[in-house]
Structure 1
């Protein structure tokens, strides 16, 4: 078969891709992720009873900023990786900066604390359950974000899967902040990050299967 014939055969029946497809798909999946995580959080764990007081403190918004910034960076990465040949670019510093800030704050807290207070600052009261709680809340978003990505054209499937999993888990962590009583960056730097990395790792493993097109 000549090259011209092959090109003609491959192009037969091709229709233009509708503009704004990515925006439409993620415009559906992101509200599902947020509403699903929030509903699960309220039903399974409950909103913390002192929320009205805590939201008036700077530390609560600092806690919320960590997963929120990661969600923004992961969204940029996920959308870009859903297109063939694109690079993540600005998403990396958006995701890395809040993590670095929290780690610096955590190290400062641990170093300056009395020796007997260092481990409790890291473990808090819920270290055993925190990562798995976030993993649970990430399930609706995981399904919705992978649905959005599969309908596009990702080529780096493991990296796209990891970004999709991180997007789902960071959205879930935003919702979890309204339940979680832990207010120390030393806790967030370990256990929030572990909770967000679990779905990201799962996404990397399942990406070649779930995002294949």
Structure 2
């Protein structure tokens, strides 16, 4: 068979990709992993007993909305990176802006507090376990999102893996917030950020090998 004939044969069998296929697959991956993540949190750590009371505390909503915004931004980024030729443009600002806001709130509250209270605002009670707890809760969504990416066509595998890690970690950190007793902004700005950065780095490393064509 000649090259021209082979190209014509392949072109004749080509079908258009359904619109929003990448978004649907990644959303399905999150929908499959999220209930498992909630189950891990509830069984392994437990929901805060005073959760209804904390709903009236502004810092609880900061702790919940901050990682949720990272998850949304990560979703926007990864569904773009999952398609060849689609640029991310300024979507990374969706990660940077909430991060900078939390750091600004944390620095302002740290400077406004008494010197003897500053150490507790940074270290809290759970700094030793927070990062790894977030990573563990993130794991189900991390696995499903990478599996979804594997079925798509990312041309930047490391960046796509990192974005999938960020998306999963943002959702995982938001789930962990339903258990976490910490409310100090400096704690969130350090340990929650590290907890979300760990899956992002892992996603870049795994994605570089797993998602290559």
Cα distance, 1:12 vs structure 2: 6.2
Cα distance, 1:76 vs structure 2: 0.2
Paired position in structure 2 for 1:92: 92
Give the conservation status (yes or no) of the 8 Å contact 2:22–2:83.
Answer: no
- 1:32-181 to 2 correspondences below 5 Å: 32-181=32-181
Superposed CA deviations along residues 76-114 of structure 1, whole A, max 9, x for unmatched, are: 001000011111124222211111111011111222222
Deviates more, 1:118-127 or 1:23-32: 23-32
Find the aligned partners of 2:17 and 2:92 in 1 and give their Cα distance.
Answer: 28
Give the conservation status (yes or no) of the 8 Å contact 2:83–2:155.
Answer: yes
Cα distance, 1:37 vs structure 2: 1.3
Find the aligned partners of 2:59 and 2:23 in 1 and give their Cα distance.
Answer: 33
Find the aligned partners of 1:10 and 1:184 in 2 and give their Cα distance.
Answer: 59
Per the normalisation by structure 2, the TM-score is: 0.93
Superposed CA deviations along residues 44-77 of structure 1, whole A, max 9, x for unmatched, are: 0000110010012222111111101101100000
Find the aligned partners of 2:149 and 2:183 in 1 and give their Cα distance.
Answer: 34
Aligned pair 1:200/2:177, yes or no?
no
Cα distance, 1:116 vs structure 2: 2.4
Give the conservation status (yes or no) of the 8 Å contact 1:33–1:171.
Answer: no
Give the conservation status (yes or no) of the 8 Å contact 1:142–1:165.
Answer: yes
Per the normalisation by structure 1, the TM-score is: 0.93
Deviates more, 1:3-12 or 1:194-203: 3-12
- Matched residues, number: 213
Report the 3-state secondary structure (helix = DSSP H, G, I; strand = E; otherwise coil) of the residue aligned with 1:129: helix
Give the conservation status (yes or no) of the 8 Å contact 2:160–2:207.
Answer: yes
Question: Please, which runs of 5 or more residues in structure 2 have no aligned partner?
Answer: none
Find the aligned partners of 1:185 and 1:132 in 2 and give their Cα distance.
Answer: 19
